[in-house]
Amino acid sequence: MNLGLVAVLGLVMLAGCSHRPTPEERRGPFLSISPGEETNAARGAVPPESIALALGGLPPGEPTRLRDALAQSTDLAVRSAAPMLFDLGLSDDDAGHAPDPLRRALPDLPALTAAANVLGSPWSAPGLSVRLGPDCAADAAPRCVPLFVPAADREPDPLIRRGRALAWALANAALLRASAGAHTALLEALRRAQTQPSSTIALVFGASRGAVDEAQLESLRDQARQALAHLPAEAPQRPWLHALSGASATWELPIALDAREVLVIPRLSALARLQDFHAEVDLARDAGPHP
| Single pTM value for the model | 0.77
> Among 125, 97, 98, which residue's Cα sits nearest to residue 39?
125
Residue 175 has pLDDT above 60, yes or no: yes
Query: What is residue 143's predicted lDDT score, i.e. its pLDDT?
Result: 87
Residue 2 placed within a domain: no
DSSP type of residue 106: G
- Percent of the chain at pLDDT > 90 equals 41
Residue 20 placed within a domain: no
Q: What range does the domain containing 50 cover?
A: 30-37+45-75+99-287
In angstroms, what is the C-alpha Rg of the chain? 24
Looking at the structure of the chain, the number of domains it has is 1
Residue 249 has pLDDT above 60, yes or no: yes
Residue 7 placed within a domain: no
Other CB atoms within a 10 A radius of the CB of residue 289 amount to 13
Answer left, alpha or beta for residue 281, where phi above 0 means left and psi between -120 and 50 means alpha: alpha
Mean pLDDT of the chain: 77
Residue 164 placed within a domain: yes
CA distances to 67, 71, 78, 235, 271 from 101, rounded to whole Å, are: 10, 8, 13, 15, 28
Query: What is residue 17's predicted lDDT score, i.e. its pLDDT?
Result: 37
Residue 8 placed within a domain: no
Query: What is residue 235's predicted lDDT score, i.e. its pLDDT?
Result: 81
In whole angstroms, give the CA distance from residue 138 to residue 211: 33
Residue 91 placed within a domain: no
Query: What is residue 74's predicted lDDT score, i.e. its pLDDT?
Result: 63
Residue 23 placed within a domain: no
b (16+ CB within 10 A) / e for 249-281:
bebebebebeeebbbbbbbbebeeeeeebbebb
Q: What are phi and psi of 208, to 5 degrees?
A: -80, -25
Residue 18 placed within a domain: no
